[in-house]
Amino acid sequence: MVHVGLGYDVHPLVEGRKLVLGGVEIPHSLGLEGHSDADVLMHAITDALLGAVGEVDIGHLFPNTDPTWKNAPSRIFLEEAARRIAARGGRIVNVDASLAAERPKIFPHLAAMKVKVAEALGLPPTKVGIKATTNERLGFIGREEGIAAWAVAAVDLPE
């Protein structure tokens, strides 16, 4: 039976941090603030996968109070979500995500992001959808104060 999960994440943009989205370091004057590498795309996909199988969210599995995860690459979180699904006899059908950022332009990096996400999940890139949009200069995203990501995941679990 196919189960669907939804994930969302947001982090503020700050000086002095690298900008990592989908496991890809993107040249920009600002980076995302967070305990790990703050990769909102990988965080949202992780939560979508965990939600599809009724697990707790990323913050419970990898709390920001645990020094183990300080500056950790978010690929670890995706890999753990995939491992938990496989341990239950499940199979990730596909994931689809959207990023919202005014700057930098995300489109030139989408193909590399798809490859990184697919590799972490053990999927072909054709099973990973990633899109990017702006917020039309509205709200905190429009003011370039942060970046947000939404994701859905379909997981086939045995009954």
Q: What is the pLDDT of residues 83-135, one digit of tens each?
A: 999 999 999 999 999 999 999 999 999 999 999 999 999 999 999 999 999 99
Residue range 40-61, pLDDT digits in tens: 999 999 999 999 999 999 999 9
- Which CATH number goes with the domain that contains 55? 3.30.1330.50
Distance CA 11, CA 104 (A): 15
Its domain, for residue 66, covers 2-156
Beta bridge partners of 12: 146
How many structural domains does the chain have?
1
Q: Which of 89, 108, 98, 103 is nearest to 150 (CA)?
A: 98
Distance CA 32, CA 24 (A): 13
Distance CA 137, CA 141 (A): 7
Note whether 155 and 90 are within 8 A (CB).
yes
